């Protein structure tokens, strides 16, 4: 599980604090991405494993530069867990061990929760 606290009592200075409540050490890395970075919502390998056609994987080009916290390893894979772009948008990915996304109908485009 992860914990996040957001204090917006002063609208000119919102503060976010977060904790990764893991029982073991987790490798964490910071990556800086320039504006114009081309992104894919799922690797080709992962899409094939869950029978998603390549054209159904969401693709986008970033409008802003960003700084992203990524955790994981080569063995288990990587996930973006926090990010902040140059326009001020902050995103925190929180883990909930009880979540269920349910089945997909196979329509639309796909974006992995690890790739936002």
pTM: 0.74
Output the furthest CA–CA distance in the chain (Å, rounded): 47
Per DSSP, helices labelled H in the chain are 44-49
Q: Identify whether the C-beta of residue 85 lies closer than 8 Å to the C-beta of residue 66.
A: yes
Whole-angstrom distance, CA of residue 1 vs CA of residue 96: 5
Q: Would you state the pLDDT for residue 116? A: 65
Q: Would you state the pLDDT for residue 56? A: 92
Nearest CA among 63, 52, 61, 62 for reference residue 109: 52
Q: Which residues in the chain land under pLDDT 50?
A: none
């Amino acid at each position: 599980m992860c914990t996040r606290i957001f204090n917006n009592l002063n609208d000119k200075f919102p503060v976010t604090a977060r904790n990764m409540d893991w029982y073991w050490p987790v490798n964490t890395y910071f990556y800086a991405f320039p504006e114009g970075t081309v992104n894919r919502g799922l690797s080709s390998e992962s899409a094939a494993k869950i029978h998603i056609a390549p054209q159904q994987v969401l693709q986008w080009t970033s409008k802003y530069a960003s700084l992203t916290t990524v955790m994981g390893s080569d063995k288990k894979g990587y996930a973006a867990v926090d990010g902040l772009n140059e326009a001020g948008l902050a995103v925190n990915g929180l883990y909930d061990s009880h979540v269920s996304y349910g089945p997909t109908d196979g329509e639309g485009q796909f974006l992995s929760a690890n790739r936002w």
